[in-house]
Structure 1
Amino acid sequence: MAGRILLAGCGDLGQRIGRLLAADGNEVFALRRRPPIDHDDTIRWLQADLTRPETLSHLPDGIDHLIYLPAPGGREESLYRAVFVEGLRYVVHALDASALQRVLFVSSSAVYGEHDGAWVDEDTPPAPQGFNGNVLLEAEQWLSSQPVRSIVMRLAGLYGPGRMQLVDRIRAGEVRAPRQPPHWANRIHIDDAAAAIVHVLALSDPHRVYIGTDDTPLPQHTLYDSIAAMIGAPAAPEGAAPFGVGSKRLSNARLRESGFRVRWPDARDGYAALLR
């Protein structure tokens, strides 16, 4: 695919994507308000603010692929809207439309809402429960209305190196989980998420939407109990389902049909490897 690729909002996930893209021979640029001090030379860092269009006036020429994956500065609707809706528009409009071939927007399974444990795929109509899902869906819909070809990757919950907060909370006895009825949870290892995004970006004729998740949805209490056993902590007591996070089993069938396979098909094995 070798091209000039911009990662807008490049945190941990973005840096993993960038390294994979650079290894494939792409020229990779990454944009952040504060680029990291310690970084390798495979990614060329740009300093700008997605919410301030005047800082985007000197983006590199010839960017042919944009991956948009910012992180809001907090759990407030105004912050989400500023980076996901307004920021996306600013960046797309700042790039050379004649060169830009494809935009990949990293979204979330939060757009689906509650499904009482039923299977959900890309054809399931979105019905967000919270402002985060609503804002992400608005950004998706705006992008689909633009003349550039676009792809949306709706990711399940990420875990991996540096993302062990769940383990810490289970160890501290700070989590609860509903058991009857179970609340279904979906996860994907951050390295699998990065690889899936790179894979989809290179497809010659991609679908517009993909779900990024592993092969094994789990009842939340099953995942929590497994982690507790790994670290010698008590099982999570009975508790309410997390607010605003619907119970559903995400299907990655479309991603698998494209030829992609996750390295960690079951989050229990992924967490076990991280804890060894």
Structure 2
Amino acid sequence: MTVLLAGCGKLGSAAGLRFAELGHPVTALRRRPELVPEPLRGMRADLTAGPPEIPGAPDIGIAVIALTADDRTAQGYSRTYVDGLRNLLDGLDRSDARPSRVLLVSSTAVYGEQHGARVDESTPPAPSSATAPALVEAERVLHERFPEAIVLRLSGIYGRPNARTLDRIAAGGTTADPDHITNRIHQDDAARAIVHLTTEVPRPANVYLGSDDLPVDQAELHRFLAAELGAPPPAEQRADPPAPTGKRCVNDRLRRSGFTFTYPTFREGYRAQIAARR
């Protein structure tokens, strides 16, 4: 079936290429369609400007919404994730598209800091940043229009060989907030989860948390990276007053859906990333 990809940045491209490998035609909406990788079909669209024209809409069976805000402010997020989503859904309605699966990429930022608590899909959103309320609103808008749609809340995505974190640790950078708990998912696993939930799960739930198996504090993560990079252990700098301790994301629902991680923890993922870097 045809896949509509609304947003085709790094994650959207990775998911689109996986759909294409499975034989699905993919149409990708992007402001700069020349950046859409082949064999995906790029189409120019600015979802913040109004509802897009969607050719071949009756053939669309899957719609994946993986938007990226250029302006990382509350207004920028609202314009991209809320207004852009509404415009996309209006475009689908006007084009008479009736996808059987709709998936929105959201973020575990909707949970806020949580002070070290475990969070899963049953945990109520409690956004603590200026931008996260727009994600909560986007999820609400989507489920209001498509009650059976899937929301995939991803934790921190990593996996690029030229990542700034690796550069900083390799150069002997300092670990700020060493006790802060972090959660992550490798970009390859994030893309695979999108394809898995839209093509392989007979009756998906409304919300999934996409994060690997092992939350880890900044100090342990940076010590591991330094050892793998052959760099000295980073010095630690604690905030005064202490920063919030973060949260521990639980991926049991995604695991129960039949999904398996290529990189179940940061160790496997960063070792692969560092090997690619070399």
Q: Give TM-score scaled by structure 2 length.
A: 0.90
Structure-2 separation of matches of 1:108 and 1:240: 25
Deviates more, 1:225-234 or 1:4-13: 225-234
Residue 61 of structure 1 pairs with residue 57 of structure 2: yes
Deviation at 1:221, TM superposition (A): 1.0
Structure-2 separation of matches of 1:148 and 1:60: 24
Structure 1 equivalent of residue 68 of structure 2: 71
Deviation at 1:262, TM superposition (A): 0.5
Give the alignment of 1:170-189 within 5 angstroms: 170-179=169-178, 182-189=179-186
Deviation at 1:165, TM superposition (A): 1.6
Structure-2 separation of matches of 1:268 and 1:255: 20
Is the partner of 1:259 in helix, strand or coil? coil
**For the Cα contact (< 8 Å) 1:101–1:149, is it kept in 2?**
no
Deviation at 1:148, TM superposition (A): 5.3
Structure-1 separation of matches of 2:72 and 2:3: 29
Structure-1 separation of matches of 2:221 and 2:8: 29
Deviation at 1:172, TM superposition (A): 3.4
Structure-2 separation of matches of 1:39 and 1:5: 15
Is the partner of 2:204 in helix, strand or coil? coil
Q: 2:14 aligns with which of 13, 16, 21?
A: 16
Structure-1 separation of matches of 2:41 and 2:219: 42
Deviation at 1:112, TM superposition (A): 0.3
Structure-2 separation of matches of 1:129 and 1:38: 34
Structure-1 separation of matches of 2:197 and 2:54: 28
Letter in 1 for 2:56: P
Deviation at 1:272, TM superposition (A): 1.5
**For the Cα contact (< 8 Å) 2:74–2:131, is it kept in 1?**
yes
**For the Cα contact (< 8 Å) 2:115–2:244, is it kept in 1?**
no
Distance 1:108 1:93, change over 3 A: same
Give the alignment of 1:30-41 within 5 angstroms: 30-37=28-35, 39-41=37-39
Structure 2 equivalent of residue 119 of structure 1: 118
Deviates more, 1:21-30 or 1:160-169: 160-169
Structure-1 separation of matches of 2:146 and 2:265: 38
* 1:99-146: CA deviation from partner (whole Å, max 9, x where unpaired): 222210000000001222121111011100012211101100111111
Is the partner of 2:175 in helix, strand or coil? coil
Q: 1:197 aligns with which of 194, 198, 201?
A: 194
- Structure 1: give runs of 5+ residues left out of the alignment: none
Deviation at 1:37, TM superposition (A): 4.6
Distance 1:159 1:147, change over 3 A: closer
Deviation at 1:252, TM superposition (A): 0.6
Distance 1:27 1:162, change over 3 A: same
Identity %: 42
Distance 1:10 1:139, change over 3 A: same
Deviation at 1:163, TM superposition (A): 5.7
Letter in 1 for 2:140: Q
Deviation at 1:155, TM superposition (A): 0.3
Deviates more, 1:169-178 or 1:19-28: 169-178
- CA RMSD across the alignment: 2.1
Is the partner of 1:53 in helix, strand or coil? coil
Distance 1:271 1:24, change over 3 A: same
Structure 2 equivalent of residue 257 of structure 1: 256
Is the partner of 2:57 in helix, strand or coil? coil
Is the partner of 2:167 in helix, strand or coil? helix
Deviates more, 1:18-27 or 1:149-158: 18-27
Letter in 2 for 1:121: D
Structure 1 equivalent of residue 216 of structure 2: 218
**For the Cα contact (< 8 Å) 1:102–1:148, is it kept in 2?**
no
Structure-2 separation of matches of 1:121 and 1:153: 12
Residue 46 of structure 1 pairs with residue 43 of structure 2: yes
- Structure 2: give runs of 5+ residues left out of the alignment: none
Structure 1 equivalent of residue 85 of structure 2: 88
Q: When the two structures are aligned, how many residues end up with a matched partner?
A: 269
Letter in 2 for 1:220: Q
Structure-2 separation of matches of 1:254 and 1:211: 7
Structure-1 separation of matches of 2:24 and 2:36: 21
Structure-1 separation of matches of 2:120 and 2:162: 26
Structure 2 equivalent of residue 133 of structure 1: 132
Is the partner of 2:34 in helix, strand or coil? coil
**For the Cα contact (< 8 Å) 1:103–1:148, is it kept in 2?**
no
Distance 1:170 1:49, change over 3 A: same
Structure 2 equivalent of residue 234 of structure 1: 232
